Structure 1
Amino acid sequence: MPDTHRLEALGAFLRSKRASIKPQSVGLPAGARRRTPGLRREEIAQLAGVSATWYTWLEQGRDINVSAQVLDAIAGALRLTKDERDYMAALALGNGQGIGADPAAAEDGPEIAPSLRRVLRELRSCPTILSDRRCHIVGWNRAAAHVFVDFDRIPFAERNLIRLLFTRKELRSLAVNWEHFVEGFLAIFRTYYGQYVGDEWYDRFIREMSGLHPEFQTLWQRSRVSRAPEVTVEFRHSRAGKMLFELTSFQVHGSTDLRCSVYSPVEGSGTESKLIRLMEPDGDSEKMQPARESEMNFTPGH
């Protein structure tokens, strides 16, 4: 990511977090003359113990000297979480992992370890998706193909999770609270954006999505950051009806930067039995159509 884009992203993030803090929460009067939400720049500067001019330059994306100690003070003033602190530091210091290997270097995605294939295979009642650091879907199990879409029908170049959430009507209608669902994945995507500060692909992708989908720009500007959000999601499946899942997302340790997103059926919700019926070869109602997918899917060639 060029320094100009990196610093602009930093400024946008700082402004978003500053606007989210209520003056009363830090012992300041709300004031009738506040024309914008949140705290003023000079108030954040005062809380962090830095000059208002210096902090203004930082928000404006100027190329100025920063230290880890000062960033820590700003993070405290903005009440950032650990993930948000890491994201801010990566953008401010430019010390992310850099470009790294291109996930799209192979047309069908990275190699999937046999042990990871077995994990997907064993999670029979938990829709599970593997994605790379650009959120390209590189692996999934049979349950995921039934609950979401048949990913095998989508070319790898188009199989980007963020893109699909905005372009596929079956995914837009699946989650009861679509915005909340998308925000979780954008929070993960933002951690990658800060981590790989040398990869211009992210800026191109964000510009493209912002131009095509105004909703993307709105959600992206909320600046949520989280490596592993754990949430309960409610789906309205076209064939199975109401389904409740607990989403757990985590990094897969190893040489390949992959993320595993597991949707565990909420106990007592009837979701697991609905999923089992959905995957039955013969089906048992008009709503449960025959399954066609193989037991486990990966990108072609793996």
Structure 2
Amino acid sequence: MTPHANTHPGAIGRWRTLPSAGRRAAVSLIVMLLAWELIAHSPRLFGFEVPYLGVLPAPSAVIGEWVMLLGDAHYWGSWYLSFTRVFAGFISALLLGVPLGLWFAISPTMRNLFFPVFEMLRPVPPIAWVPAAIIFWPTQELSIISVIFLGAFYTITLNTYNGGRRVDLAIIQSARSMGASRSNIFRRIVLPGTLPSIVAGAAIGMGITWEVVVAAELISGGNGGGGGGLGLFMWDAYLAGNHEQILVGMLSIGLAGYFSSGLLRRFGGLLTPWLSRN
């Protein structure tokens, strides 16, 4: 190598430095966008319209609409409202679901008394609680947050419970035989053994909250001022016949859920370094 050789990698070099999972994700995204663009232009390119999918606006039109919305305060206000609702509902579910799941796992009395009720209520979809939430809570904002809370609560609680039940009893009995107290067993054995399940439940629950917030905002009507969240943003786009904005709202929710769950998994990896893979 000469002293002045260029050591900066080009586009091919940067592509090769990406993890294999990142390359696969990029390829799948590019293929999907190209197929979508071809389907959207199928009447002009092929002389016929692809059933159902052919009525979708092309991704180039959606991206153009999205770029225009980046300077729209109403769009970012919708983002802000949905994000704050998701954050409030998810944190509430985490703070209540993790202790309850651990309590179910370590206490036979608690499990026998209350777990059947939990299992009976768990199959009820969060959206089914919207009418009751609107009646029960004094404000629409609280009703939306309560429905979001239910969306994450059952998943977090059940994953925590299952993780606690899978902790090896032989380890617990060995610790007891060596004089470990119940608090030490919980802090040093039960809680670390349950953490992977808590992280998995939290990541799944975060995805569910972004699904629920849209329906809750659509049904309850938002807060009526400054934008009603991404759910009402999409509904207003539908009423206006703006299909591009509908897809912008859908993609916004997808990105929000993807990155929120990814951040939770990354944080969970820091909490459980013994599970990291090379």
Larger radius of gyration: 2
Same fold (TM over 0.5): no
Higher percent of residues as helix: 2
Higher percent of residues as strand: 1
| TM class, shorter-length | under 0.3
